[in-house]
Amino acid sequence: MKSPLFIATIFFLLVVFGCSPINEPVKQISSDTKEIIDDCKCTGKCYGTVVEEGCLIQSAKEPRHCLEFDSLFLSHGIYGGDDDYFNEPEQDACFKTVITKLNSSEFCSQFPGNYSDYCFYSVGIKNLKEDECRNIEYRYESNCYLFIVDRKTSFNISKCYELNDEDSITCHAYHASRINDSAICLKLESKAEKLKCYSRMHENFGDDFCSGIGPNYNRICYYNWFKLAKLDKGILDEEYCEYEKRNPWDNYSCHISLAMYNKGINKCKSIGDRIYQGTDYLYECLFLVALKDDSINFNICDEFGLDYSSCYEGVIYRKANASLCKKLPTMDKKELCVFLIATDQYKLYGKKDMFLCPLTGTRFNQCLELTYNEFDPVHQTFEACQVRGGIPGQKCFLNLALSTQNISMCELTHPNWKEECINKINHVLEAK
């Protein structure tokens, strides 16, 4: 009878040299797999470990290696625990690790089950090659196409038609965004699909197209988006805004921008509930459409009445005619109207007009601060100095007196500067 020590020794040798410790048939393992196993055998303080699991997973280069590691004895159980083998969880980690290393699909068909599809997907998105994603499970195929189309300008648009309806719309939208051509959305069949595509293009750009229209008015994000993306006015209508209801402001902004883009002031009526968080959106819509549409005049605004004087304001600011401000119903609105034109608050004219400031009432000083420039030749005149007034006006007269060598104008400067002004001009005159 063999001693217990002999039996334990034989058991240990079988484990170390890769043989099964129980009566199982010996599996055929290729030579390179054996090399990996040998390299991964524990040689230090092993505490029961025979072959290091992490080493096997990181060393595998092909799916064949992971398959040949199957059921490999890894370590003895300690403190009464079970022995550890290379089973399904380890094989899963091994397959996924090998896939992350692959740069081509050469080995993808050798993976079992879904790992093969995942391999084609992984290689496809890594190399941005949509053809790698053909004929695989739909979730991998669609995700692959959508990942690539969002990053590759030369994407084959025909791949979008292999996807289901919603994914196909997203695919078209991503391609349109990537090549900056909204006409891609028009390749879809129905109007609803085309409008959804426009909306998803907008999502892909985020708020890049938001801009401030002017003081006291909220941002109108969609108008710039419609213009820069060159959306087709033939299909762009209120139905589009149904896809932009992420919050009430988005929906109001969409309707206002749509009325501006299509130059249809009557479309402002489609906004519905006009008040949201203290803002009257019909009032704002009328103003912005009148501001942008040259065809809107006072006669059209009369339909809405003075309760919606914003329509008149839009016409006045567009025409840059301060004399028309008298059309507005209150003195404050009239003065504000002149102020906004004088300071070019809506950035429509490319210039400011300080000579309108006397008509701005309580906003006079603010108007001058925003419009007067002492270095502007237009403001180096007697009239400009008069309008500027105060210490800045006296400094203006000083500069004007010196530049024109006009001693009489020194009388209009600050008393502390008068004598110096006269002496400087006399010195110049005497030197001639």
CB count within 10 Å of CB 361 equals 15
In angstroms, the CA 199 to CA 173 distance is 8
pLDDT computed for residue 279 by the predictor: 67
**Region 324-344: what's the mean pLDDT?**
94
**Region 355-365: what's the mean pLDDT?**
95
What Cα–Cα distance (Å) separates residue 180 from each residue in 134, 204, 225, 248? 26, 11, 12, 28
Amino acid 37 reads I
Q: With 60 as the cut, is the pLDDT of residue 5 above it?
A: no
pLDDT computed for residue 225 by the predictor: 83
pLDDT: which is higher, 115 or 247: 115
In angstroms, the CA 339 to CA 353 distance is 9
Phi and psi, residue 364, nearest 5°: -55, -55
**Region 331-352: what's the mean pLDDT?**
92
In angstroms, the CA 389 to CA 372 distance is 11
- State whether residue 8 is helix, strand or coil: helix
What Cα–Cα distance (Å) separates residue 49 from each residue in 44, 53, 85? 10, 9, 11
In angstroms, the CA 241 to CA 201 distance is 14
Strand partners, 84: 75
pLDDT: which is higher, 48 or 337: 337
**Region 362-375: what's the mean pLDDT?**
93
Q: What is the DSSP string of 156-184?
A: -GGGGGGS-HHHHHHHHHHHHHHHT-GGG
pLDDT: which is higher, 353 or 216: 353
CA 320 from chain center: how many Å?
34
**pLDDT confidence of 281, banded at 50, 70, 90?**
confident
pLDDT: which is higher, 284 or 175: 175
What Cα–Cα distance (Å) separates residue 432 from each residue in 310, 400, 421, 428? 60, 20, 18, 7
Which residues have a Cβ under 8 Å from the Cβ of 374 and sit 6 or more positions away? Answer: 380, 392, 395, 396, 399
Q: With 80 as the cut, is the pLDDT of residue 219 above it?
A: no
Q: With 90 as the cut, is the pLDDT of residue 184 above it?
A: yes
Extents of the domains making up the chain: 1-101, 105-205, 372-432
Kindly report which listed range (78-87, 264-273, 391-400) carries the lowest average pLDDT score: 264-273
What Cα–Cα distance (Å) separates residue 375 from each residue in 66, 159, 268, 282? 79, 62, 44, 43
**Region 416-423: what's the mean pLDDT?**
92
CA 227 from chain center: how many Å?
17
DSSP secondary structure code for residue 209 in this structure: T
Phi and psi, residue 338, nearest 5°: -65, -45
pLDDT computed for residue 272 by the predictor: 58
Asked whether 172 and 197 are in contact (CB, 8 A), the reply is yes
pLDDT computed for residue 37 by the predictor: 95
Phi and psi, residue 51, nearest 5°: -125, 135
**pLDDT confidence of 241, banded at 50, 70, 90?**
confident
Percent of the chain residues past pLDDT 90, beyond the cut: 63
Map 39-62 to HEC letters.
Answer: HCECCCCCCCECECHHHHHHHCCC
What Cα–Cα distance (Å) separates residue 299 from each residue in 97, 290, 311? 73, 12, 10
Beta strands, E only, 123-278: 275-276
**Region 183-195: what's the mean pLDDT?**
96
**Region 138-150: what's the mean pLDDT?**
96
377-383: long-range contacts (C-beta < 8 A, 24 or more apart)?
Answer: 379/354, 382/409, 383/355
Q: With 80 as the cut, is the pLDDT of residue 26 above it?
A: no
Residues for the chain: how many in total? 432
pLDDT computed for residue 275 by the predictor: 59
**pLDDT confidence of 62, banded at 50, 70, 90?**
very high
Percent of the chain residues past pLDDT 70, beyond the cut: 86
Q: With 50 as the cut, is the pLDDT of residue 427 above it?
A: yes
pLDDT computed for residue 21 by the predictor: 41
pLDDT: which is higher, 260 or 26: 260
**pLDDT confidence of 78, banded at 50, 70, 90?**
confident
Please calculate the CA angle 311-314-315 and round it to the nearest 5 degrees: 90
In angstroms, the CA 60 to CA 358 distance is 83
pLDDT: which is higher, 3 or 227: 227
With CA atoms as reference, report the closest residue to 40 among 21, 68, 63: 68
Q: Is 325 exposed, middle or buried (0-12, 13-18, 19+ CB in 10 A)?
A: buried
Kindly report which listed range (10-14, 105-109, 215-219) carries the lowest average pLDDT score: 10-14
Query: What's the half-sphere exposure (Cβ side, CA atoms, 13 Å) at 319?
Result: 17
